[in-house]
């Protein structure tokens, strides 16, 4: 393993996970965690010479204050150090996707099973995965209230909703609404795509792969991987760790994620100068 990645995997640069409160994920969903060896033993999907592109499939036309497809593409490219392609949008209203009006929120929801089936029939030959993204709320089964997303690792497809990351979903507003939606959307996109690489929820450090039981807990997750999960992603992709962090820092500065850009600066000072 190169010296640069060894330095960036030093646990001293990361915060341990907080003790969960009564409403938090680990208090309600006890998980044993996933060591690096357990990750390897699970035989996760790994990018191949041909299947190396992440595809994003919008299910409607995205418009402000929803997240910019350009920004989501740039974030995903930087985070996973892989080619990313945004496909032309599919209109969920004419794609044969079952929908309903949620009795609690009064908002439209799309059935995830129909979306995953549709995506599985359109998987490009060079796709590592195909990810549906939508500003519509989702549900996986009539008995469920909602779900943020769902994926089929076997079929290499997933679908994720950004609807509940908009303050207006809850009848609230914010002066930085657009950036808040973008930040939340980037984090959930990286978290759920991380699962596509076989990375389970993290119980060791504050990490983008921490489970989340509510919006405040999701907001508290940092937008980066801990050393345990960074090692897993490095094994999967074999990226240049310094270039990856520099690419992420550039994106964070561009969109105003200044706290994360400063964190990356600190991380990069840990790499010995040759």
Handedness of CA 165, 60, 254, 177 (dihedral sign): negative
Judge whether 142 and 174 are in contact, CB under 8 Å: no
Phi, psi of 218 (to 5 degrees): -65, -40
Nearest alpha carbon to residue 133 among 121, 120, 150: 150
**Long-range pairs of 218-224 with CB within 8 A, sequence gap ≥ 24:** 218/184, 218/187, 218/188, 219/184, 220/18, 221/187, 221/191, 222/15, 222/260, 222/263, 223/183, 223/186, 223/187, 223/190, 223/257, 223/260, 224/248, 224/260, 224/263, 224/264
- Residue of 31, 88, 150, 192 marked catalytic: 192
Judge whether 187 and 72 are in contact, CB under 8 Å: no
- 192 an active-site residue? yes
List residues with catalytic annotation.
Answer: 192
């Amino acid at each position: 393993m190169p010296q640069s990645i060894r330095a960036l995997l030093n646990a001293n640069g990361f915060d341990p996970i907080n003790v969960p409160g009564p409403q938090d994920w680990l208090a309600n969903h006890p998980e044993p965690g996933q060591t690096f060896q357990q990750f390897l033993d699970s035989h996760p999907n790994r990018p191949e010479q041909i299947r190396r592109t992440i595809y994003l499939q919008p299910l409607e036309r995205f418009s402000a204050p929803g997240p910019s497809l350009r920004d989501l593409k740039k974030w995903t490219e930087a985070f996973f150090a892989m080619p990313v392609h945004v496909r032309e949008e599919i209109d969920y209203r004419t794609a044969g996707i079952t929908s309903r009006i949620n009795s609690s929120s009064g908002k439209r929801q799309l059935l995830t099973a129909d979306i995953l089936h549709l995506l599985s029939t359109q998987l490009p030959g060079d796709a590592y995965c195909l990810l549906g993204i939508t500003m519509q709320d989702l549900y996986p089964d009539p008995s469920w209230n909602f779900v943020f997303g769902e994926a089929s690792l076997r079929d290499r497809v997933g679908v994720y909703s950004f609807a509940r990351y908009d303050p207006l979903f809850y009848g609230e507003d914010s002066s930085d609404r657009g950036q808040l939606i973008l930040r939340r959307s980037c984090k959930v996109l990286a978290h759920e795509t991380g699962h596509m690489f076989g990375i389970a929820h993290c119980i060791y450090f504050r990490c983008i792969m921490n489970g989340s039981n509510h919006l405040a807990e999701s907001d508290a997750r940092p937008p980066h991987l801990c050393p345990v999960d960074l090692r897993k992603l490095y094994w999967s992709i074999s990226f240049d760790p310094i270039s990856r962090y520099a690419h992420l820092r550039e994106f964070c500065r561009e969109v105003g994620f200044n706290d994360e850009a400063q964190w990356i600066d600190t991380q990069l000072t840990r790499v010995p100068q040759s």
